[in-house]
Structure 1
């Protein structure tokens, strides 16, 4: 075990639990119920409070405010939680709030996420692994984000919205509908503009699988019939294709928000 290194100007409350190799920089504050995993670093001026757990190797930069009570008028002091995964990077002035009674009592950030300066993650949001949020991204309450999603700068996600795995949301977008897995959304208000082909290629998805996904995309968002009819047709036609079935399952599970579509129903990629 390596003892924690705590700057003399930092304040660590009694009850806080610090793992091996933790570094707490100047003027940082750690609340009494905070758990910092091994090798967590608070660079300086970071404030961590509430019922908050931060995973191994995560780094938090100056003026971040992590774990303070939600910005929700329905919150009444319930003992909700915030969990941040391993090896995350949380940059300057980021704010992340814990959950509420109305949303499952938990906000969770996955592993290996990069949250850039001035971004906000609200109460009860569930964020997957390997997610990148550029500067000034705003994630509203109850949002669910899949793995490997990238958000461009200054985009905003409406409460209760789902963003599917491997999706891309362009800069300055206002997203008020669910974005399908592997999809790309851009605009204010955002529309689906195709598939995240750059992301799929970077992550080395099979070329033929991408071609099948593109064919299914054109079918699902064609102009004929209803969305449900087109989804069921795609499910049958591509019944053995995992990428297509991911999209089909995502659309079938829609509840709180509409599925984001292209601006014109007959638009392809």
Structure 2
């Protein structure tokens, strides 16, 4: 009999507006379909509060709090103090994120603003000894430069989109590499190579839901139980048993957040 996956989604956004109509139904459904844990990652200033609430309302949801580079202009003088207050009040907040750099959209905040906000949040992670969840889009060089400035900080580079060489540099700094449904796409040759070349013990699986649904659900609203397709694909790439891969990814996540479930 085939073992049922025990899924941990290392990066999700269940406070996103796309879940406003049926959030509780979806969360109940994914639980019934083998999801044992979710890390909900804040992005905007408003999502600090909604992520905090999700973790308090659902026993299987943990939280990461941070300001996404696209929202870097929302970082105020006292925002880090607010994040610290949430963390002090809630032991289910386990990481700083989603933070980083995004140079893809021209309308994003200027690069110097993004870098300053990224550095401030990396500094907070260092101060609290928290892992970070890093967003890096078309900004590999600058992202790595800032990661190198904070050698005491580790975490995950989520929705990884770089080369094998970049992945290995991140791993050397102690980071994990997060794979989304993109690895299942037909045109994902570079990402498949990354999955093949890096150690199993440095891989995390994630949805980034409601975005990035894997094949065969590409284009649909994503949800955490779809991770089974990501696990199966990476196991196929690495020529290992999918259930063993699943357990390994869960161990990696628990090692990262230092809270074994």
TM-score normalised by length of structure 1:
0.23
Larger Rg: 1
> Which of the two has greater helix per residue?
2
Relative contact order (C-alpha < 8 Å, sep 6+): which is higher?
2
TM-score normalised by length of structure 2:
0.24
